[in-house]
Amino acid sequence: MAKEFSGNNSQNYLNFIDAHFFSLPSQGNIYTLTPLTDAKGFTKILVASLQRKVYCLEFTSGRPCMREVPFTYIPGGAEIISIDAVNRSVIQEDFIIGITIIKKDDVTGQQSHFFNIYSDWDLNCDSALDVVSQNCLPLELDFVPYHLYHTKTKTKHGWETVWLLSGSDSCIHLYHSDDESHSYQEVECSESFPEFSQTTNITLWMDVFYSSDNKKRVSGTCGESGTVHMFHVNVEAIPQITASHTVSWDYPSVTVKIFDLKTTLSVPNFLQGIHRLQNRAPKTDNEDQPHVVVANALESCFVYSGFVSKCEGYRLPDSDNSDVVTCCIVCDIDQDGKNEILIGTYGQTVTVYKYNEEPFSWTICHSINVPCPVLSLAYCDVMGDGSYQLIVMTTTGIHIFQHNPWELASVIIERLETLISLKSAFKLPKEVVQESSQCSG
């Protein structure tokens, strides 16, 4: 079914409309934009400016708006370094928000660093964003914080959301929640994330990608020294590194992203039987291996494939032609079921790279120009209409780029027609029909 739905001409679906712009009183950095999805499936964008202000970009009263969120424990004169957020629940708003700050003492000139964790431990109350912003657990740090990142790890109590924070001490720090004491504690990385336990340089970015069965993960780090580490880890029992690869560059590497070439969505219950019939053939090793894109600040960006075995690198053409690369995301921005790579630069451009199967390569299929340097990118549904928007944070504010609505309508109509033709042509076995009727009932 995926092949039929990805058969549209994606080159016609990259006409964006710069629909909205929201200015910021002071600029942020590459770490100060994060999406947050609530229980209803709507996405908010949290944006932090360096001058201790945090804003929420959301869709209310029929239009997007930006409002300030009054987070506590951010004193006057403090600078926000990084922000990250996650909703731990799919049925309620169990928000956890992390903010790292630097505060300079006006008298002594000494700098102090804090990791503020905002959450609401009473899940019976209305855990709205404004409520969570008033419940803070500040943790003092003895290092300058850099990238703040949330992921999951398996514990004796099941899967748990944890924080990873890179610092100026060339370490990656792990923080997990203690439900009994309603607090967070730093623990050693070596047990849950052995791949992060022996870093020797400042890590500017990290990424963790789990397989669909949660038995394996691929992790990546990149940093100031230009060294990129990629790890393949077996997590069925105790996490063990089964393969690794290292690449060194002459200049800093700012971002590493791990991704599949094709997009995947959860299959509804009434289609589970069809899905199993179409996927009886086991995946090959090459199909199951994710890819890694490395964004280098002053050199070409590269995509690495199959690093567990041979690790082939593919250069993204002209990725070093638009000043310093600042950010990178991977998403299906042209609605064809295959992921594209988006590179943001200080040269005020966002470049879209598309994957070509034969021969395996990446080519530029689109570019977007903005009036100011790009700091961060996101692709999510902020408008609440079911389609995704491209969020571009620049040094002056937030741009919301929408797909052309007529082109989106064309995609929807084409896919509905495909679905109807599949329904009429595909004859289901009796047991699948019975299973589907039970699920829908």
Over residues 8-57, the pLDDT tens digits come to 444 446 889 999 999 999 999 999 999 999 888 889 999 999 888 999 99
Nearest to 47 by CA among 395, 368, 348: 395
CA atoms of 23 and 119, how far apart (whole Å): 28
Give me the residue label for tokens 């690790």.
311
Residues 124-182: tens digit of each pLDDT: 555 578 889 999 999 999 999 999 999 999 988 789 999 999 999 999 999 998 877 77
Phi, psi angles (nearest 5°) of residue 215: -100, -15
Give me the residue label for tokens 């789990």.
210
Residue 232: pLDDT band (50, 70, 90) is very high
Question: For position 398, what pLDDT does the model report?
Answer: 97
Provide the edge-to-edge strand list for the sheet that holds 240-248.
Answer: 203-210, 216-223, 227-234, 240-248
Residues 368-419: tens digit of each pLDDT: 999 999 999 999 999 888 889 999 999 999 999 999 988 888 888 988 887 7
Residue 241: pLDDT band (50, 70, 90) is very high
CA atoms of 315 and 302, how far apart (whole Å): 5
Question: For position 2, what pLDDT does the model report?
Answer: 39
Question: For position 8, what pLDDT does the model report?
Answer: 44
Nearest to 279 by CA among 261, 263, 267, 291: 267
Give me the residue label for tokens 């855990």.
127
Question: For position 5, what pLDDT does the model report?
Answer: 40
User: 0.75 exceeded by the pTM?
Assistant: yes
Phi, psi angles (nearest 5°) of residue 94: -100, 70
Please give the angle made by the CA atoms of 119, 37 and 94, to the nearest 5 degrees. 30
In 3-state terms, what secondary structure has residue 396? Answer: coil
Structural tokens at position 204: 């500017």
Please say whether the beta carbons of 44 and 60 come within 8 A. Answer: no
Q: Please name the amino acid found at residue 241.
A: I
Average pLDDT, the chain: 87
Residues 308-325: tens digit of each pLDDT: 777 789 999 999 998 999
Residues 203-229: tens digit of each pLDDT: 999 999 999 899 999 999 999 999 999
Least confident of 117-121, 199-203, 320-324, 349-353: 117-121
Please say whether the beta carbons of 97 and 83 come within 8 A. Answer: yes
Which helix H or strand E contains 249, and what residues bound it? none
